[in-house]
Chain A
Amino acid sequence: MSEFHDDYPQYEFMAHHSEEEGKLKRRKLWNVFWIMLGVTIVELIIGFNAKKWGLLHDDRTSSFILKIIFIGLTLLKAFYIVYKFMHLGDERKFMKYSIIGPYTIFIIYLVFIIVVEANYSLIHKDKMDNLIIEQKDRLNKEANEGHHGGEHEGGHEEGEHH
C-alpha cells in the first residue's frame, strides 16, 4: 500500500480537525452568514427605495453612485463566499493565485472591451437606429411585395385551370 502511494504526488486528503476546533470554525461560519444576510438586507432596502429616493434614471451621477454601491456590496459578498465558504483563503498561495489571477485578468479585459464598445455603440446610436429602421421598412416592403406576388401567381393558376 505504501509503496503504491510513494509513486504519486502526496497531499493531505482532507483537513481533519477536532471537536473544539470545529466549534470555533462553526462560529466563524455563522458570523459570515450574518454578515452576508446583513449585506443582502441593505441591498434590498436600497433597491426597494431607489425609485422613491429618485436614484433611478433621473440623474446620471446618483444612478452611477447607486451602481457602484451595489457592485461593491456584491463583490464583498463574493469575497466572503470564495474565501470563507469555499475555503480558498485557507489554500496555499500557489493555489489561490492560480485561481484568482487568470480570472481577474480575463474579467478586467472583458469589462474593458464591453465599456469601449458600449461607448462606440452609444455615440453612433442615431446612425445605427436609422439602419435598423431602414431594414424594417425594407422587410415590410419585401413582405408586401411577396404577398401581392403570391396573389398574382394564384390568379395565373386559376386562369390555367379554366
Chain B
Amino acid sequence: MSSHAIETDSDSAWSGGKSPFGVSYGKIFMWFFLVSDALTFSGLLCAYGFMRHRHPEVWPNPGDVFTHFPGYTGHIPLAYVGLMTLILIMSSVTMVLAVEAGHRNDKKKVIIWMLLTIIGGAMFVGSQAWEWYHFIVGTDHGAIRSVFEDGKWVQKTIYGANMTVNEYGLPVFANFFFFITGFHGFHVFSGVIINLVIFINVIQGTYEKRGHYEMVEKVGLYWHFVDLVWVFVFTFFYLL
C-alpha cells in the first residue's frame, strides 16, 4: 500500500503530481459538502431568527413549550433537550475515538466505539420522535386560538401544534420547529445508516485489507457535523 507522506511546498504543489491540500479527494469533497450543508442550516436558522424578532410579543418561550421528561409528570424546562445534547456530544466523542483507533489499525476498538456511536445516534433520533410527539399532542387544557374554518375565522380550543395551528403561539413557530429539527433529525437518521454501513464493512475487514481506515474518518466528519448543527439548533431554538 502506498501510504507514504510526501513533503510539498507551495511552489511545486500546484504544478501537478501532488495534492496541494495534503488530503484525499474524498475527504476534501466531504468537507465541501459539509460547508454547503452548513450554509443550508444557517439560512434556515437566520430565517427563524428573522421571524422571531418580527413577532417578539406573540412568540412562544421555548422554556414553556418543551417541558416534558420521560417518567416524570411535572414540568422541567430544558432538561430533556439537555439530555439529548449530552447524548449527541457523547456519540461524537465515541466517533472521534473510533477514528483514533483507526489510526492505530486497531480493528477491535474501532468496532466497539462505532457501535456506541450508532447506539447514541439511534437514542437521539428516538428522543426527537418523543419530543415531536409531545409537541403535536400538546397539553391537557389547550389554548383558544382563532382558526380559519369553513370560510370564517372562529375561536376554537386547540391542543398541540401542527403546520396550520399552534397551541403555544404563532403557527410559524411550529412550522420552523418541524422543518429545522426535522431536517436535522433526517441528517442524524441518515448518519446512523451510513455509520451502520461502515460498521459492517469494518467487521468484515474491508478496511483492514485496504490498510487504512479513512472511510471511518470520512463518516466521522459527517457525524461531527450533525453534532455541530445540533449545538446551534439547541442554542437558537431552546436557549434564546
Contacts and interface: CB of A to CB of B under 8 A. Distances in A.
B106 to A, nearest CB: 8
Nearest to A95: B21
Interface string B198-221: 000000000000011110010011
Interface SS of chain B: helix
Nearest to A50: B63
B5 interface: yes
B104 A19 contact: yes
B50 A136 contact: no
A71 B231 CA distance: 10
B41 to A, nearest CB: 11
Nearest to A40: B85
B169 to A, nearest CB: 13
Contacts of B93: 29-30, 32-33, 85
Interface in A65-112: 66-67, 70-71, 73-74, 77-78, 81-82, 84-87, 91-92, 94-95, 98-99, 102-103, 106-107, 110-111
Contact of B100 (A13, A18, A22, A43): A22
A148 to B, nearest CB: 10
A108 B39 CA distance: 11
A13 B35 contact: no
Interface string A112-123: 001001100110
B239 A43 contact: yes
B54 A78 contact: no
B35 A99 contact: yes
Contacts of B174: none
B185 to A, nearest CB: 19
Contacts of A1: 2
Nearest to B25: A9
B235 A110 contact: no
Given A85-B96, A114-B49, A14 B22 contact: no
Nearest to A145: B151
18 contacts: A9-B17, A11-B6, A11-B21, A13-B24, A13-B212, A16-B103, A16-B212, A17-B103, A22-B101, A40-B82, A70-B240, A81-B228, A81-B231, A85-B92, A85-B93, A94-B21, A99-B32, A147-B151
Interface of A: 1-2, 5-6, 9-19, 22, 25-26, 29-30, 32-33, 36-37, 40, 43-44, 46-48, 50-51, 56-57, 66-67, 70-71, 73-74, 77-78, 81-82, 84-87, 91-92, 94-95, 98-99, 102-103, 106-107, 110-111, 114, 117-118, 121-122, 125, 136, 139-140, 143-144, 146-147
Given A9-B17, A14-B213, 7 more contacts: A12-B4, A16-B104, A16-B212, A70-B235, A73-B235, A78-B232, A94-B21
